[in-house]
Structure 1
Amino acid sequence: MKLVILDRDGVINQDTGDYVRSAEQWQPLPGSIEAIARLYKAGFTVVVATNQSGLARGYFDLDDLEAMHAKLTQLVEAQEAELGAIFYCPHGPDDSCKCRKPLPGLVDAIEAVFNTSAEGCTFVGDSLRDLQTGLAKGCRLMLVETGNGATTRTQLEHSPGAEAEFSLGGHAVTIVADLAAAAELIIEQDV
């Protein structure tokens, strides 16, 4: 199985900085839906792994989250493509769960549902916690500069243990402008 794991906010859709709380607020980034469709049509299973602590904080409810994900799914389907699944952590930072990134629980669940290993697949995110999650599971790491990506790039460049501006814990991090550029590179590198 050719698997690609995407973070949601800041990678696929605009991140408000104050939680995306409704389907109306959920707006795709330019080219992101088309990028998912390109990956799908190139034979990849595209899965979303997203922290949604706004649920635990009471900023939105499950119906709101499901409406956001229905909107995403419908936009992808309108491109004659499909998402493999959307996995989310509903917990807050103090809930001691195993699924909140940077912990690998969401990827563990993806592996279980799809009966595959995420090792070697590409994990695309815009935050350090996304990269840490992918790193813990042996994924190839890709950082988009949308969302929090530019800030994360600065963190990588100045973090202790980062051997170079494109490294995290000794593992390469590929930095791209956006999800469209990520999809192009993933497809190009597929052998």
Structure 2
Amino acid sequence: MTRIRAVLLDRDGLLVEDVPDNADPDRVRPVEGAQEALALLRAHGVRTGFLTQQPGVARGDVTEADVRRVDARVEELLGPFDIRAVCRHAPADGCHCRPPEPGLLLWAAGRLCTAPAEWAVVGDTDAHLEAARRAGAHGVLVPTARTRPRQTAGDTAPDLITAVRSLVPDTPVPRTGR
């Protein structure tokens, strides 16, 4: 596998507890292992981003400002991310950014200036893996309560930290002083 330069992670369920249509930053709780996994990626010089699908915006249940406040809380708790990508469409909208479509992933990777072969997507549904495949990226499935039986090919890890360890080399990137 090519050296991974960026990892895009599903926000809800993998990084923070999944609270559907969450508009309250005080309800954001990191998932066990999220801080360790992100620290490992950052120590290896891997850029990080998170992806989230917010159909509540399309339905009017959640505002854009709500999503930004929740995202800011995620960053406050888990450190800075290089990119945040949000699909604001309902599943029936037929958008190009909602997994299994690769649009959101391609947009995020473009913003990070990385080729698809140099990034990975870690998600908890087959749709995330399919979007990664369609984009030309590596996908890793980490099952959660919302994971359905697998229908697509791809790597699986029992938890987030195991998934991240499978993506990074053995030794961290040395830090340089500036």
TM class by shorter chain equals 0.7 to 0.9
What are the Cα deviations for residues 1-60 of structure 1, in whole angstroms up to 9, with x where unaligned?
7011111111111113x4333212222111212211220121100111221111112222
Match of 2:158 in 1: 177
Matches of 1:123 and 1:53, distance apart in 2: 20
Structure 1 residue aligned with 2:131, among 107, 130, 133? 133
1:27 to 2:15 alignment: no
Q: Distance in 2 between matches of 1:147 and 1:21?
A: 21
Partner residue of 1:142? 140
What secondary structure is seen at the aligned counterpart in 1 of 2:121?
strand
Report the more deviating stretch, 106-115 or 125-134: 106-115
Tell me what 1:103 maps to.
101
- Read off the aligned partner of 1:177 and give its amino acid letter: P
Give the TM-score normalised by the residue count of structure 2.
0.84
Q: Unaligned 5+ residue runs, structure 1?
A: 160-167
Aligned match for 1:84, one of 63, 67, 82: 82
Aligned residue for 2:52? 50
Q: Give, in whole Å, the separation in 2 of the partners of 1:42 and 1:85.
A: 17
Aligned pairs, number? 169
CA distance in 1, matches of 2:114, 2:164: 21
Identity %: 27
SS at match of 2:97: coil
Which one of 153, 168, 178 corresponds to residue 187 of structure 1?
Answer: 168
- For 2:64, the equivalent position in structure 1 comes to 62
- Over 3 Å counting, the alpha-carbon distance change for 1:37 and 1:147 in structure 2 is farther
Q: TM-score, normalised by structure 1?
A: 0.79
Distance 1:21 1:72 in 2: 12
Structure 2 unaligned spans of 5+: 172-178
Q: Classify the secondary structure of the residue corresponding to 1:124.
A: strand
Deviations 1:108-135 (A, max 9, x none): 2123212221224221000111111111
C-alpha separation in 2, matches of 1:179 and 1:83: 16
Task: Give the partner amino acid of 1:180.
Answer: I
Q: Is the 8 A contact 1:9 1:147 kept in 2?
A: no
Q: Hey, what does 2:77 align to over in structure 1?
A: 75
Distance across 1 between alignment mates of 2:129 and 2:87: 16
Matched residue SS, 2:26 = coil
| Mapped partners of 2:157, 2:169: distance in 1 | 14
Contact kept in structure 2, 1:123 and 1:141, CA below 8 Å: yes
